[in-house]
Amino acid sequence: MKPVVDLVAGARPNFMKLAPVQRAVAALGAQDFRIVHTGQHYDAQMNDVFFEELGIPAPDFHLEVGSGSHGAQTARILERYEAHLLANRPDATVVFGDVNSTVACALAAVKLGVPVVHVEAGLRSFDRTMPEEINRLCTDAVADLLLVSEPSGVANLRREGVDESKVKLVGNVMIDTLMSQLPRARERAAAARLGLAPKGYGFVTLHRPSNVDDPEVLGRLVGLLHELSRELPLVFPVHPRTQNAAKGLAQGLAPGQERLLCLGPQPYLDTISLVSDAAVVLTDSGGLQEECSVLGVPCLTLRENTERPVTVELGTSRLVGNDLERIRAAWRDVRSGAWSTGGAIPFWDGHAGERVAQAIADRLA
């Protein structure tokens, strides 16, 4: 009998990471796998559409946890995944990224003696006010195999004293998805459907608590987006968290505005189509920093720090925080062409999923 691994996902960014790993594990054939969906994200637009577009098989188990405070949501995942493990014990649990589902399933598994594999291990923003940083630290502390996307992750884990034999630089699985799906994404011509020319608009996403939970901060940022959109139209797919937070704002995020085009959450292929044709991206998403770096699109990262420093060192991202003057200055640099187009990033080559599958197989052999 082959060993069995659980591939666990729960929130939108997990799905793009799970897809290439699932395919590579299936192709290698060294283990059987089951897909476990925690249900952290549940709206069709945040969820089903990604499974369909990326060809991920339907989950074998669905824990249906839904939204909640961090404690409540994490606890619910922990409790339900533990029950699943007791009934259907795998030989390893594979978790992705840094969301609440990642840490909760890692904890449930390690407490039952099930080895934990963390894909995208070692990233550190050194900002403990970010929920994701806590998730990263806790997940890596209990993981048995730490698969890293960029060199900074290896250095961080070494500094934290993690046994080197557990750590492997495999590259970026989300970039596997980007590279394999880019031709299909381009066929979508999503900008043209909005009446926009390639490089004739900017693309925006905002969802981090530090940018959207305080109405004053969000109000300032939305005001700036309205201002910048008078120079260049902006396409803004609004995350549900941000949509909720924007309800009370005077200058809001209503659909139907001509220059600041607010849309609902977009499918993966439309997003990549829009990003690849954008003149500039303004975002607080870690994934978009990485995708822009590979696509060569200037990326203003509305954060004070990043757990993905390679996107600043070799890619196209610049940290601009949420200070309006810094954002305006960076915007002017992009508009005048004073921006790096980025270079190749080691191991972001479209084959990280295969290296993940091989590392898991070696570990379980």
In sequence order, what E strands does 30-179 have?
A: 32-37, 61-62, 92-96, 116-121, 145-148, 167-169
CB of 91 to ligand UD1, least distance (A): 26
Asked if residue 284 lies in contact with residue 303, where contact means CB atoms within 8 angstroms, the answer is: yes
Site residues, ligand UD1 (CB under 6 A):
11-13, 40-43, 46, 67, 98-100, 131-132, 207, 239-241, 244
Give Cα separations from 222 to 14, 128, 130, 245 (angstroms): 28, 26, 22, 11
**Closer CB to ligand UD1, 101 or 293, in the complex:** 101
**Closer CB to ligand UD1, 69 or 165, in the complex:** 69
CB of 30 to ligand UD1, least distance (A): 30
**Closer CB to ligand UD1, 11 or 54, in the complex:** 11
CB of 212 to ligand UD1, least distance (A): 8
CA neighbor of 140 nearest in space, from 178, 167, 114: 167
Asked if residue 95 lies in contact with residue 7, where contact means CB atoms within 8 angstroms, the answer is: no
Distance between CA 63 and CA 348 in Å, rounded?
Answer: 32
Asked if residue 53 lies in contact with residue 268, where contact means CB atoms within 8 angstroms, the answer is: yes
CB of 332 to ligand UD1, least distance (A): 28
Which residues make beta-bridge pairs with 146? 118, 167
CB of 244 to ligand UD1, least distance (A): 6
CB of 66 to ligand UD1, least distance (A): 8
Distance between CA 95 and CA 44 in Å, rounded?
Answer: 22
Q: How many CB atoms lie within 10 A of CB 87?
A: 8
CB under 8 Å to 302, separation ≥6 — which residues?
206, 208, 211, 221, 282, 283, 284, 320, 321, 322, 327
Say which residue the tokens 């200037």 belong to: 298
Asked if residue 92 lies in contact with residue 66, where contact means CB atoms within 8 angstroms, the answer is: no
The helix/strand/coil state of 248 is: helix
List, by residue number, the catalytic residues: 207
CB of 338 to ligand UD1, least distance (A): 30
What 209-217 contacts at long range (C-beta under 8 Å, 24+ apart), as own/partner pairs, is 209/131, 209/241, 210/129, 210/130, 210/284, 210/303, 210/322, 211/284, 211/302, 211/322, 212/239, 212/241, 212/242, 212/245, 212/246, 213/245, 215/245, 215/248, 215/249, 217/322
